Amino acid sequence: MSRAWLIGAGPGDVELLTLKAVRTLAQADVVLVDDLVNPEVLQFARDDAQIVHVGKRGGQVSTPQPDIVAQMLDHLRAGRSVARLKGGDPFVFGRGGEEQQALQAAGIAVEIVGGITAGIAAPAAIGIPVTHRDHAQGVIFVTGHGAGEHEADWAALAATRMTLVIYMGMRRLNDIADALLAAGMPPDTPCAAIESATRPEQRHVRASLRELAQHVADAGLGSPAIVVIGGVASLGVS
Ligand code: SAH
């Protein structure tokens, strides 16, 4: 019987794959690979596996979400086992939940193989413990991508005084910082932005909330990056 897996490939470093990811990847007839998945991960796929890149980086056109699901269904119905490889954890942003729903609606059971999410791995890569108890009662994972009605309620988030870990926040960093400052978050709140965490090209910037957007722009930091805001961002390596 063919099987379907949604597999987290972790933040980049192949050593951060789970044993289960390696084992299931090795069983797949077809591997659909997302953006942000380190290609080195594919060493664990079978030599005869069909590899399909559905991401939009590297000059390729991104495959629309319904087409990805349709491709998976085609393979599964033809009796082929399909591994869907996603960066980080498949259920933390990145639409893994939607793919599970679509497969379930088609009557197909999908197995979830968790991964290490960038929101924890990227801060850790520069020594930031996101829930250090001297600094925060908890951590909030939030997307910076939304605007308008999809915009997070930054004032409400600021009021929690928890660590904020922002995914997909680089393009709107200025607006996000302004919203947090307007909500009364202290301008000297420590922040960090970590680009391409756990990969050889990893870079980061540390700055106060007031200066974060400018320092990130000066350093030319871009996507993929995680932004950490809160007292914990004062910890770790400089
Ligand atoms: N499912 C993924 C997140 C997908 S959303 C996970 O659990 O990590 C894509 C966003 O994740 C990027 O815009 C960026 O904010 C973050 N991201 C993914 N890999 C990253 C990396 N190696 N370094 C920094 N940020 C990363």
CATH code at 173?
A: 3.30.950.10
| Ligand 1 proximity of 17 Cβ (cutoff 6 Å) | no
Instruction: Give the number of the atom of ligand 1 that is nearest the alpha carbon of residue 223.
Output: 13
Query: Are 23 and 87 contained in the same domain?
Result: yes
**What residue numbers bound the domain in which 206 lies?**
118-234
Report the distance separating Cα 174 and Cα 114, nearest Å.
32
Assign 132 to helix, strand or coil: coil
Query: Are 108 and 128 contained in the same domain?
Result: no
For the whole model, what pTM was predicted? Answer: 0.95
Q: Which of 113, 133, 148 is the last residue of a domain?
A: 113
- The CATH number given to whatever domain includes residue 105 is 3.40.1010.10
- pLDDT of the chain, 238 residues: tens digit per residue: 789 999 999 999 999 999 999 999 999 999 999 988 999 999 999 999 999 999 765 455 678 888 899 999 999 999 999 999 999 999 999 899 999 999 999 999 999 999 999 999 999 999 999 999 999 999 999 999 987 888 999 999 999 999 999 999 999 999 999 999 999 999 999 999 999 999 999 999 999 999 999 999 999 999 999 999 999 999 999 8
- Please identify which of the residues 13, 34, 72, 162 carries the catalytic annotation: 34
Query: Are 92 and 15 contained in the same domain?
Result: yes
H runs (alpha helix) in the chain: 19-25, 65-77, 96-105, 118-125, 154-160, 173-182, 209-219
Query: Are 143 and 199 contained in the same domain?
Result: yes
From 17, 36, 221, the mutation candidate for ligand 1 (largest count of ligand atoms within 8 A of CB) is 36
Dist. CA 12 → ligand 1 center (Å): 9
Q: Which of 75, 94, 113 is the last residue of a domain?
A: 113
Average pLDDT, the chain: 95
Query: Are 224 and 125 contained in the same domain?
Result: yes
| Ligand 1 proximity of 38 Cβ (cutoff 6 Å) | no
Is 168 one of the annotated active-site residues of the chain?
yes
Query: Are 33 and 86 contained in the same domain?
Result: yes
| Ligand 1 proximity of 117 Cβ (cutoff 6 Å) | yes
Q: Are 128 and 152 in contact (CB under 8 A)?
A: no
3-state percent breakdown (helix, strand, coil) of the chain, nearest 5: 35, 20, 45
Beta bridge partners of residue 190, listed in sequence order: 208
Query: Are 27 and 93 contained in the same domain?
Result: yes
Q: Which of 113, 133, 150 is the last residue of a domain?
A: 113
User: How many structural domains comprise the chain?
Assistant: 2
Q: Fill in the amino acid letter for 64.
A: P
Is 218 one of the annotated active-site residues of the chain?
no
Is 34 one of the annotated active-site residues of the chain?
yes
From 16, 170, 226, the mutation candidate for ligand 1 (largest count of ligand atoms within 8 A of CB) is 226
| Ligand 1 proximity of 135 Cβ (cutoff 6 Å) | no
